[in-house]
């Protein structure tokens, strides 16, 4: 995929793509590139007013719908209104925020970044025809999944360990979804991606000195357009392999063009991934059901 860019996106006419968090940053750039390639793009955003200019820039093939990943009732309402989707891009997220809770009482980063997308994907999966792309981060490497206390109720909260846990959960979810889809004989793909270090609005909401520090760092970051390339490749390239993880090809995966990259040993722990999956189903109330290609109907397929 040498120097793959948005200009290499194949014609997406007739395809519907849902992009969460498409009102700014990576999501906005991904949505605009997909719209330019002919896709019908559903901009799934908490703030629909902020998403409107992005939809206007795309044109008639863009639609804005409200989705608050920090509120499972909003996730269910959004999913109920989607008839079909070829590609789901789990792009939205929060980073490094002070300790707070979602509408359902989950730690904000774990609840928004992972549980919200876990629920959304499960509710939409029977309508996804091609693939699911879930955004992770280089910060997954500092994360640890604590299945006994995922919401930081019994230990001292740390904004960056909490963010790392949420991004590790995103990546482990993408890998586990790939395994379960394969076990069910499904042709739907699950991939993950990360943007390297890209200048987006995500860095300005920590409500701490980190906002200023990362603002300085953004002077040396790559653009949001470049940062969106790994997820765009994962979402559109016919050659993209299910279960793969895409990131920039530059030094330390900080910047550059899409390539398949590695991930931490923790992210490959199948036992923890299975535990996280079960925990996520219990917390969200969303139980996945996978359609077997053998004609046996739909049933949950465990991964050993």
Catalytic (active-site) positions? 163
Residues recorded for the chain: 304
Using DSSP's 3-state secondary structure scheme, residue 282 falls into helix
Enter the tokens of residue 231.
Answer: 């997820």
Tell me which H or E stretch contains 288: none
Query: Which residues are CB-contacts of 28 (< 8 A; sequence separation ≥ 6)?
Result: 22, 54, 224
91 touches 20 (CB < 8 A): yes
Task: Compute the distance between CA of residue 256 and CA of residue 236 in angstroms, rounded to an integer.
Answer: 18
For residue 187, report the phi and psi dihedrals to the nearest 5 degrees.
-95, -5
171 touches 245 (CB < 8 A): yes
CA distances from 301 to 103, 127, 129, 289 (A): 30, 18, 19, 7
Spell out the long-range contacts of 261-269 with Cβ–Cβ below 8 A and sequence spacing 24 or more: 261/194, 263/136, 263/140, 263/141, 263/171, 264/140, 264/141, 264/168, 266/143, 266/144, 266/145, 266/168, 267/140, 267/168, 267/171, 267/172, 267/175, 268/175, 269/172
Task: Compute the distance between CA of residue 27 and CA of residue 89 in angstroms, rounded to an integer.
Answer: 9
Task: Compute the distance between CA of residue 36 and CA of residue 42 in angstroms, rounded to an integer.
Answer: 14
């Amino acid at each position: 995929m040498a120097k793959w860019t948005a200009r290499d996106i194949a014609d997406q006419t007739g395809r519907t793509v849902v992009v969460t968090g498409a009102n700014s940053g990576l999501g906005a750039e991904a949505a605009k590139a997909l719209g330019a390639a002919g896709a019908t793009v559903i901009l799934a955003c908490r703030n629909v007013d902020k998403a409107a200019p992005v939809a206007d820039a795309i044109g008639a093939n863009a639609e804005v719908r409200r989705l608050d990943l920090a509120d499972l009732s909003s996730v269910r309402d959004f999913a109920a209104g989607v008839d079909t989707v070829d590609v789901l891009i789990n792009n939205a997220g929060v980073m490094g925020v002070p300790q707070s809770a979602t509408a359902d009482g989950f730690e904000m980063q774990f609840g928004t970044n992972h549980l919200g997308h876990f629920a959304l994907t499960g509710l939409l999966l029977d309508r996804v025809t091609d693939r699911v792309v879930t955004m992770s981060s280089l910060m997954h490497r500092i994360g640890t999944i604590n299945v006994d206390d995922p919401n930081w109720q019994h230990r001292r909260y740390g904004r960056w360990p909490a963010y790392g846990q949420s991004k590790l959960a995103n990546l482990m979810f993408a890998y586990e979804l790939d395994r379960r889809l394969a076990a069910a004989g499904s042709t739907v793909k699950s991939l993950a991606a990360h943007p390297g270090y890209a200048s987006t609005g995500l860095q300005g909401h920590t409500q701490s000195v980190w906002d200023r520090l990362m603002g300085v760092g953004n002077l040396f970051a790559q653009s949001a357009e470049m940062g969106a390339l790994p997820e765009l490749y994962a979402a559109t390239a016919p050659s993209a392999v299910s279960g793969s993880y895409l990131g920039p090809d530059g030094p330390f995966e900080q910047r550059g063009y899409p390539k398949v990259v590695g991930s931490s040993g923790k992210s490959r722990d199948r036992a923890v991934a299975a535990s996280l999956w079960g925990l996520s189903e219990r917390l969200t109330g969303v139980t996945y059901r996978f359609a077997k290609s053998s004609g046996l109907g739909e049933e949950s397929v465990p991964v050993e």
